[in-house]
Structure 1
């Protein structure tokens, strides 16, 4: 942890965390391995030492027995003479068959020996446990590891030369412990070196791991600053590559949403301007007509203009209210079973009963839809074909597809101008004729919105005139199959 000037602790950075974690793991693993190696080596070396001492003692014990059988006499003196020739050897002899109390020259009586026994030793520091001698008197070879009177670790082996004559040999374990001490120092140095090297390697690895993270942070800052085209390079298939892909997808989605918001904002600004413009004209006409009502000669004309502009204003207000409901997401459809030929025939009779309009149907022309909104779509397309196209007008209903029904309204007019084709379903888009016939420029936009809430599509093409094609699914999205229900 780092401490800032205000006394608050700051968390470690990514690089420091990686370095500390790797160093701790490597140090722990190396220390554990060093301890295991030392333990195994110590046990193996001690076992080899003891086996070697046991073999050497067995050889000395056999030779001591041979000397006693060969020379006879005082067996304690005979055996002690033999073992004295073993240079560097610490030994002790215990004789429990005593004929007199006269000690042998150079002999010493040891307190560990039972009372009345004689003992002879090569080292004055030799201290033999009584249980070791007692066990050797039974005929079994006994051994033990212990500390001598100077605190050094030794290994003692006891065996029976003759009945009640026990030989004890002591082997120093100093060299073994020196070797193990050297091994401990070596393993400690190796552990420290490995820890240091792992820390250096961790620093380098953390640096490389930090680079893509820093690149992502930099890209995020630039994205937050409004640079929506920023992207991260994707390399490989690891977690960092996955992070880069997710970041790029997020940036792309964010750019799309912001572009849509900007387009929506521009659309709203244009909507307000167009609505204000379209409202200004009938309102101005109505004001002028009201002023003309005072003149008896112009009263009839003024009343006619006032009624026409009032109807135009009412239609415009209704269209604006419908558009606002689409924008607010509060439009509700009431699906019901609809026979399209009957609906189209009714719409034709209301929109233009005397016009030359042909209705043709093929296949299953039944759909589940909101009759009122679908009626408005068909009526708008027929009115548009008669106002901006030319007769004859044909309405084809294609129900041969199992999932959709296509309704086409075609006329023999000049068709939609190429420059208007991409925006013909936008709000307040009007052709030259619509600018003079009182059209609001919202009819096709409302028709497109009504088709969209049914999960369908609408498009326009040119083929000897304008052809508007509406594709409707058999059942609107989210419909449960119960006629007459309301769906948001």
Structure 2
């Protein structure tokens, strides 16, 4: 449309200029012919009487009208001419007596001499209906013997050229409108034939990315768009097959773990009952048999914990884990868990401290799962804390509540910290387990945190201890936002610079 508008304006201006200059050339030739005829009459006369002068003027006007297409004629004495000394009186058509002839044109014609004897100016002319038409006034100086210098003005109405220009402009506008409609139709066809298939391909790819693996692009014809559709659909079929195969394998694995765990429960229960009987009677056995009964009981308990963890992991993998949300005070939950873990901490020589400046609020959480997370974090801190104090911090802000477990033990390297949440991974496989964990505790804790729309993060440095931070939203279903507890902890620099300078006083 911009191109058409520019072309239309350029064409209209060009045609208008051509029409005007063509008409101007005709007018100048016409006016020159009329002025020459009048001047010839004046030059051939030797009138001296008033009657013959009047006859001469009539003859000149008649000659002008015969030689020119204009009927708008005016003859004025040149400025400074003594009109009282001559019998020639000014003459003008009514259309040229209302200030149509400008002072500028009068001055130019009066001062004209030499080769340039014609002067013109564009002026509006009355059309007799109360309006005006575009016109041209042509002025030519005349010399009348025994009378002096006079000025001849001829007016030419350009209404016919203006009507022609208006007709051309209307034609251009109509042609431009029709061409615009044609371009719009062509654009619509292009959109239908080219852009629409691309849009369909984009929408189909978005649906594939969102998990709708069965969607395909319609294949029509044999052009390049159809080739693209076939290639895209082939890629989608391959992806769907691969994803379906992986999903089937994942379901088989989950079902296998779940079935094995369930099937092992019955014999495990029998072994557990038998082991408990032997464990209760271990004092009456010989020392070697009593020790065997103790080992059987310990490993049976660990085996049962491992089965429970495997069942829990299989629920997360299958997407069947759910939350039993209730309003819970996280500080009290942490205190209860600390009380349960205190005997184990005392046996390891670690003191459990709690710091809760802003955690005394009710939050919507699954208390069982959060208690399991806190227990796993405390168990790991006790096992790797090297007998030093362990600090549990709890704080909250407008959108989140956080709990961190800080120990000052052996710590981990950056590479080990990245893998700490992997299943069955151990930082030091040769290190003796004092608690007897299954190797799935932190992996389950990470899944429990994610199930709450929260986050479980870790900071650790070798020789400076570790800090695990759990951040949960205060309202279930909302985002947690920024955690109120820092990570790394505030005493991390002190630990890194001076060994264990940041370890709190166990007597505090």
TM-score (norm 2): 0.47
TM-score (norm 1): 0.48
